[in-house]
A and B are shown apart, each in its own frame.
Chain A
Amino acid sequence: GAGVSQSPSNKVTEKGKDVELRCDPISGHTALYWYRQSLGQGLEFLIYFQGNSAPDKSGLPSDRFSAERTGGSVSTLTIQRTQQEDSAVYLCASSSSSGRTDTQYFGPGTRLTVL
């Protein structure tokens, strides 16, 4: 079956512009996660959705970052007024259960470059 998909695969933007990153989880997966992977760093948790609700937003680095999920499916991560330090690979994952301890299935990521 189809895995997690993300779009775009690559995004180059100018400092100060807003960007939207999209994630389509595996059909039927209730949990959805966003992570960021910066050069030389590990994966950094950003936000977790259960259905359309986000019980854990603790990883969002600033109020320029926001995310939403609609219909318990597609999620969008929005970064406003992008900065060069936002350059990273943004990864989305989904899992089938309401617990946070089951296997997470990852998408291929969106590589964001802020000039």
Chain B
Amino acid sequence: KQEVTQIPAALSVPEGENLVLNCSFTDSAIYNLQWFRQDPGKGLTSLLLIQSSQREQTSGRLNASLDKSSGRSTLYIAASQPGDSATYLCAVANTPLVFGKGTRLSVIA
């Protein structure tokens, strides 16, 4: 059974810092890995999707990497801003989509 773990569970950083969120999964037979953002009381917003054949994806200040063989992904956020404060969720696509419990990020102005 696929298990997805996200570390740390919570993170607080000053504005402007670069940071890394970690995601690990137990079954490397995945189709893709997705990173989502969830704001309080809101649904999920897709940030990046990395296909199993890819190593990384970039969107603006976000960069996500995937190492299937080791069962790891990282989400790198450059020059963090208070507006980045949210919970970040990692999900792996087996059948069905399996989510981690998220990392709650606070960026302090």
Contact = CB atoms under 8 A, between A and B. Distances in A.
Interface of A: 4, 33, 35, 40-45, 48, 56, 58-59, 91, 93, 99-109
Given A91-B44, A108-B43, A48 B96 contact: yes
B96 to A, nearest CB: 4
Interface in B85-106: 89, 91, 93, 95-102
B49 A103 contact: yes
Contact of B43 (A40, A41, A56, A91): A91
Interface residues of B, number: 24
Contact of A45 (B4, B45, B96, B102): B96
Interface string B44-79: 111001010000000000000000000000000000
Nearest first, the 8 A-B pairs at minimum CB distance are: A106-B43, A101-B31, A106-B44, A43-B99, A45-B96, A42-B101, A108-B43, A42-B99
